[in-house]
Amino acid sequence: MTTLKKSGEAEKSGKPHIGVIFKCCRVYSRIYLNKSKTAFVGWCPKCAAKMEVRISPYGSKKRFFTAD
């Protein structure tokens, strides 16, 4: 099982998240870890396009991603 390190505001709110730039509407938003802790899931705040980032067993040091 992958453990997530919390930092900053995520630690305060208790909700692990990653930052995403939604190219479809050129907006930034956070997407949050799902209940099963297998992926970060969220929707574009303007057009409601769904974004899912699965958690790799190898991890990633990135905290910000771009969605097409």
Over residues 25-34, the pLDDT tens digits come to: 999 999 999 9
- Domain coordinates in residue numbering, the chain: 8-60
Amino acid 31: pLDDT: 95
Q: Please, what is the Cα angle at 20 between 12 and 35, to 5 degrees?
A: 55
- Percentage helix, strand, coil for the chain under 3-state DSSP, each rounded to 5: 10, 40, 50
pLDDT classification of 12: cutoffs 50, 70, 90: low
Residue type, 7: S
Over residues 32-59, the mean pLDDT reads 92
